[in-house]
Structure 1
Amino acid sequence: MKKILYTLLSISILLVSLAIAGCGSDGDKYLGTWVIKGTDGSFSYSVISKSDIKDAYIITDYEFSINSMDKLYNHSTTASIKNNILEDSDGLHYTLKDSKLITNNGYNIYTKVSDKAMTLEEIKSDANKK
């Protein structure tokens, strides 16, 4: 009787553990703020955050020159996970390799600045430090 109860308890714990482990989304590893510093002194930041819609993400891109922080390009788009790749509504694919965010089949390689979605003011402050 004790063996049966022990076995049932073990199975229950295993099932609960699997359910908890499965709650995270594949896209959560993309969350945060990413940056590329251009050779001309420009900066490109991608901020990836959760959307209000389940399993959807928002990608906001900021591009500016360190000499002219007021001239700013800003673009936001939605994204979702397809075949373990983050794909935005414009068709751009984002993958992770060696803790780098890669877009355009390796043409753009971003480094993670923060695990959180930074505000524009935080991004400008970060760019001024570089």
Structure 2
Amino acid sequence: MKTAFVKEPSKISIDETEKPILESGDILIQMHACGICGSDLEKVFGEYGQPSMRLGHEPAGIVLDVGTDVSEFKKGDRVFTHHHVPCYECHFCKHRNETMCKKYYETNLAPCGLSEEYVVPAWNVTH
């Protein structure tokens, strides 16, 4: 499977990677499109980019498989993956301050959005 990585400053490499492992609560998605945002550009061209950094966190695609405990999605569904999703249950979320939620800052794409296929928790996905 092919995945986009930062090879060195200002250079991207498309490399073969292992297919991600589907676990309970996860969805395996075939990427059809992925946005490139400022943080991706910073990883490639900025001073904070490091070799092997993975790119893409705004992907959309087709569900290939679902893990156990996933009932709201099925094979063939068209989905969008959110790169920041709050838990809606913690103190911050209950007080309408979702951007302070610890879960909000998790990026749960494996290996990344600019990959032929990726695994993500079902709570991170929308039809």
TM-score category by the smaller chain? under 0.3
Q: Which has the larger radius of gyration?
A: 1
Structure number having the greater helix percentage = 1
Structure number having the greater strand percentage = 1
Q: Which has the higher contact order (CA 8 A, sep 6+)?
A: 2
The TM-score with structure 2 as length reference comes to 0.25
